[in-house]
Amino acid sequence: MNKIFIGKVVSTHGIKGEIRILSDFPYKDKVFIINNKIIIDDKEYIIKSYRVHKGYDMVTLDGFNNINDVLFLLKSNVYISEELLNLDDDEILDDELITFKVLTKDGKEGIIKEIFKASSTNKILRVMFDKEVLIPMNSPMIKKIDKGNKEVIVELIEGM
C-alpha cells in the first residue's frame, strides 16, 4: 500500500479528543471526509468529524472521545492510502509531477528537479534543460500537463 503524506498532528483541541493537523495538502476535500480512513503511525483511523479552525484541520477519530485518548498521536505524521485518494484526471500530486518530462514547443527536453512554494498560492518548477529554469505553475508558459504520457508542455519566453 502506497501512503501519501497529508500533514502532521501538532496538538489537541478541547477535551473531547479532537486533534489539530497542520497540512498544506492541495486535495483536502478528498481526504478529510467523514468515515474516510487516514493513517497515523502505520495504523488506520476512521474520521468521525472534520472542520477547519484557524488554518488547521480539526479531526475527531472514531472511538476516541477524550483528550487523554489521543495524546499519543502528537507529533505523528498523517497519511492517506493512495487507493482511497480518488483524484480526477486533471488533478496531480507534486510527487507524481517530479517524474514527468518537460518539453518545449521548439523541441528542448528537460526534467523537473524540484517543486517548491514561492508563496502560499504559487508553486515553482525547477527544470533542468541545458541550464536551470524556474517556471511558475500558474504561469501561461505551461501549456499542458499530460498525465497519460507523463509530460509537461511549456512555451518558454525569450531569454530563458
pTM of the entire predicted model? 0.79
The pLDDT of residue 22: 96
Q: What is the pLDDT of residues 120-140, one digit of tens each?
A: 678 899 999 888 989 888 888
Out of 2.40.30.60, 3.40.50.2000, 3.90.45.10, 3.20.20.70, which CATH number does the structure's domain 3-81 have? 2.40.30.60
Out of 2.30.30.240, 3.40.50.1110, 3.30.2130.10, 2.40.280.10, which CATH number does the structure's domain 94-154 have? 2.30.30.240
The pLDDT of residue 63: 95
Task: Choose between 100 and 119: higher pLDDT.
Answer: 100
Task: Choose between 32 and 144: higher pLDDT.
Answer: 32
Annotate the chain with three-state secondary structure: CCEEEEEEEEEEECCCCEEEEECCCCCHHHCCCCCCEEEECCEEEEEEEEEEECCEEEEEECCCCCHHHHHHHCCCEEEEECCCCCCCCCCCCHHHHCCCEEEECCCCEEEEEEEEECCCCCEEEEEECCCEEEEECCCCCEEEEECCCCEEEECCCCCC
Q: What is the pLDDT of residues 2-35, one digit of tens each?
A: 899 999 999 999 999 999 999 989 899 999 999 9
Q: What is the pLDDT of residues 33-72, one digit of tens each?
A: 999 999 999 999 999 999 999 999 999 999 999 999 999 9
